[in-house]
Amino acid sequence: MSVPGAYRVEPEPLSDRRGLFFESVRAAEISAASGWDFQVRQVNYSVSKRNTLRGIHGTKLPPGQAKFVTCVRGAALDIAVDLRVGSPTFGHYDVTHQSPESGVAVYLPDGIGHAFLALTDDTCMSYLCGEEYVPGTMIDVDALDPGLALPWDLKEPPIRSDKDAAAPTLAQAAAAGLLPTYEQCRPRSAAGARPG
């Protein structure tokens, strides 16, 4: 994707009279591409009404929480945002349209924020997480931050949680020291230690 370290995964479906089959996740390929040993330690699902906007969410370091996100029902406009202070692409974003039929997914390492807009009722998103959730470590940034100007193409006000609606802008989160640095989010060295 245009945000370094984030990957769009486009499977190659096998089709016959029964329907489709495709591989969604190969941990070895994700690890080889990203430089991180991606192991699933928690699986989450969200189910959303049409026009629900979730995010922008990330996780503090430590512990971090890399994610492999895909739409398993409905349809979603998925956006990855670089939250890494000092990154050459800080504040840049990449858009992915997701649906079960396409099988398209995104891999988001530490420091890349995630948000999506449910395009249909009963949109279900699956999150394979590289770390278990630790209360108090979530990073929230306003998905409607005018400084980011994310292309949601909203026709009406979105449905959001109170927490998401009250989230700071990217600039406010950076000024408050809430965001990870680019160096903290770099892949592990050959010795397996995280730099910084």
Tens-place pLDDT, residues 38-70: 889 999 999 999 999 999 999 999 999 999 999
pTM score, whole prediction: 0.90
Quick check: is 57 catalytic? yes
Q: What are the helix (H) ranges across the chain?
A: 27-34, 162-165, 170-175
Chain centroid to Cα 170, Å, comes to 16
Helix (H, G, I), strand (E, B) or coil at 62: coil
Nearest-angstrom CA–CA distance, 122 and 163 = 21
Of 7, 93, 107, 127, which is the active-site residue? 127
pLDDT at 154: 98
**Catalytic residue check, 7:** no
Among residues 57, 93, 114, 182, the one annotated as catalytic is 57
